[in-house]
Amino acid sequence: MSIGLIGIIVALVVFLLLTYKGFSTFYVSAICAVIVAVTNSMNPITAFTDSYVSGLVSIIQSLFSIIFLGVLLGKLFTDTGAASSIANTLISKFIKSGQSPEKRIKIGLLIVLIICGLCTMGGIDAYIQVFTLFPIVLIIAEVCDIPRRFMPGMLVLNCAFVAAPGAPQIMNVLAVSSLQQMGHNVSSVSGVVPGIVAVIIIGVGGYFTILHMILKSRRNGESFELGDIPAVKAEDNRKLPPFIVAVLPLITVFVCYTIIKLDITISLCSGILVTIVFMQHYIIREQNGNKITGLTAIKNSLNFGAETYPNALILIATPAAFAAVIEATKAFEDLVQGLGGLNINMMMLAFITVAIIVLFTSSPPAAIMIALPMISGIAAAKGLNLNMNLVLRIAVLTSITFESLPWNGTIILGGSQLNR
């Protein structure tokens, strides 16, 4: 193993340890980028000003619309009470007094999985759901007496749907855009049958894995406790939108993006517009004890979302900027060339390539943007007529599966939200 590759591994371990200890990824990613540069005989100043900054700009350019509009939709979805309406409807329908503690935990966890699925397929970005669904998951954990330490795992149950065929999520959007630019006729629903099978496997597997861990902890005497987290204010007297109205924006985004195949930007804007038109009157009309107008309430929600999105965007983008420095190293180039030279099935090559790139860069977007052109190029050079619809679904599924590694963005964000 070369010194350069060892440097990349050391930088990833440092990235993991520092972020786990609560240090901001904003500067930790830059520090780790310097470690990679020094161990790979690169000028650290040039590596930072060129590779790191250009990588940051590139990923922001690619993800700006989906993150920005996803944050606005998520904020409106929370402030209108739509998320609470869906959660309350499911809780009141399925969680009853007299149920055994084990049954309540099973139902509560299933409710989280359903809400995650609705929000993910409805266009609320998976990263943003960590903020949007946090109060909902906290309430469910308290109602079902689930120990707090399992909340990050519950928050990322949406991983089952992030790579689903038709999901208006980052990985689908980037993969479709990348392959379409190369002239391939693909869409967000490419690889629909294997995609659905994979979603079922990931969803069921994730559900039963965390269920087993929770039940084991309860048998060991653990129970729910708030710790340093502020309690969620009860909304018993608040008027919430009906369930059907609450899911309307999610249905709108899904239909626009997946069925009609409109651009993701137009689809998310449609969802935001539907939320405002049908649910703006459910936003609380009070600020600092004073009554406010409907227009002011809408403005406050949109303003808060607009002020929040830069932090969410940079939190997602800084690992990708770190990944850009890794991509610029000779060690990483040799690794990718080695993968390209493997004499194996092209579908397996797509899987291995994406998995290893996510492992070494902690950036699924980087893996998608590197691996798909590489696989397409190798297939063209060998004269192979690949099913690029299947390649797309394999790449997207692999990217989110290996995104569960502890140094990846969603995991870091989930942990930071729990410890806020």
Find, among 166, 169, 160, the residue nearest to 191 by Cα.
166
CA–CA dist 331, 311 (Å, integer): 31
CA–CA dist 346, 342 (Å, integer): 9
Regarding beta strands 286-287 and 290-291, do their DSSP bridges make them parallel or antiparallel, or are they unpaired? antiparallel
Query: How confident is the model over 250-272, as a mean pLDDT?
Result: 93
Query: How confident is the model over 176-193, as a mean pLDDT?
Result: 91
Q: With cut-offs at 50, 70 and 90, classify the pLDDT of residue 405.
A: low
Q: How confident is the model at residue 219, as a pLDDT?
A: 93
Q: With cut-offs at 50, 70 and 90, classify the pLDDT of residue 419.
A: low
pTM: 0.82
Query: How confident is the model over 273-297, as a mean pLDDT?
Result: 86
CA torsion through residues 264, 269, 272, 278, sign: negative
Query: How confident is the model over 11-32, as a mean pLDDT?
Result: 82
CB 72 within 8 A of CB 309: yes
Query: How confident is the model over 229-244, as a mean pLDDT?
Result: 74
Q: How confident is the model at residue 404, as a pLDDT?
A: 62
* Tens of pLDDT, residues 40-56: 999 999 998 888 998 88
| Residue 184 CB neighbour total at 10 angstroms | 17
The dihedral formed by the CA atoms of 208, 158, 21 and 36, expressed in degrees to the nearest 10: 110
Whether the per-residue pLDDT at 27 is higher than 70: the answer is: yes
| Residue 15 CB neighbour total at 10 angstroms | 24
Q: With cut-offs at 50, 70 and 90, classify the pLDDT of residue 401.
A: confident
Encoded amino acid at 375, one letter: I
Q: How confident is the model at residue 12, as a pLDDT?
A: 83
Whether the per-residue pLDDT at 413 is higher than 60: the answer is: no
Q: How confident is the model at residue 164, as a pLDDT?
A: 92
Query: How confident is the model over 224-246, as a mean pLDDT?
Result: 76
Whether the per-residue pLDDT at 3 is higher than 60: the answer is: yes
Q: With cut-offs at 50, 70 and 90, classify the pLDDT of residue 233.
A: low
Greater confidence (167 vs 230) lies with 167
Q: How confident is the model at residue 167, as a pLDDT?
A: 92
In SS3 terms, 187-219 reads as CCCCCHHHHHHHHHHHHHHHHHHHHHHHHHHHH
Tokens of 189: 């629903």
Query: How confident is the model over 257-272, as a mean pLDDT?
Result: 93
Average pLDDT, the chain: 85
Whether the per-residue pLDDT at 205 is higher than 60: the answer is: yes
Q: How confident is the model at residue 232, as a pLDDT?
A: 59
Query: How confident is the model over 130-143, as a mean pLDDT?
Result: 85
CA–CA dist 195, 163 (Å, integer): 8
Encoded amino acid at 118, one letter: L
Query: How confident is the model over 237-244, as a mean pLDDT?
Result: 88
Q: How confident is the model at residue 258, as a pLDDT?
A: 92
In SS3 terms, the chain reads as CCHHHHHHHHHHHHHHHHHHCCCCHHHHHHHHHHHHHHHCCCCHHHHHHHHHHHHHHHHHHHHHHHHHHHHHHHHHHHHCCHHHHHHHHHHHHHCCCCCCHHHHHHHHHHHHHHHHHHHHHCCCCHHHHHHHCHHHHHHHHHHCCCCHHHHHHHHHHHHHHHCCCCCCCHHHHHHHHHHHHCCCCCCCCCCHHHHHHHHHHHHHHHHHHHHHHHHHHHHCCCCCCCCCCCCCCCCCCCCCCCHHHHHHHHHHHHHHHHHCCCCHHHHHHHHHHHHHHHHHHHCCCEECCEECCHHHHHHHHHHHHHHHHHHHHHHHHHHHHHHHHHHCCHHHHHHHHHHHCCCCCHHHHHHHHHHHHHHHHCCHHHHHHHHHHHHHHHHHHHCCCCCHHHHHHHHHHHHHHHHHCCCCHHHHHHHHHHCC
Whether the per-residue pLDDT at 228 is higher than 70: the answer is: no
Q: How confident is the model at residue 409, as a pLDDT?
A: 54
Q: With cut-offs at 50, 70 and 90, classify the pLDDT of residue 403.
A: low
pLDDT exceeding 70 applies to what percent of the chain?
92
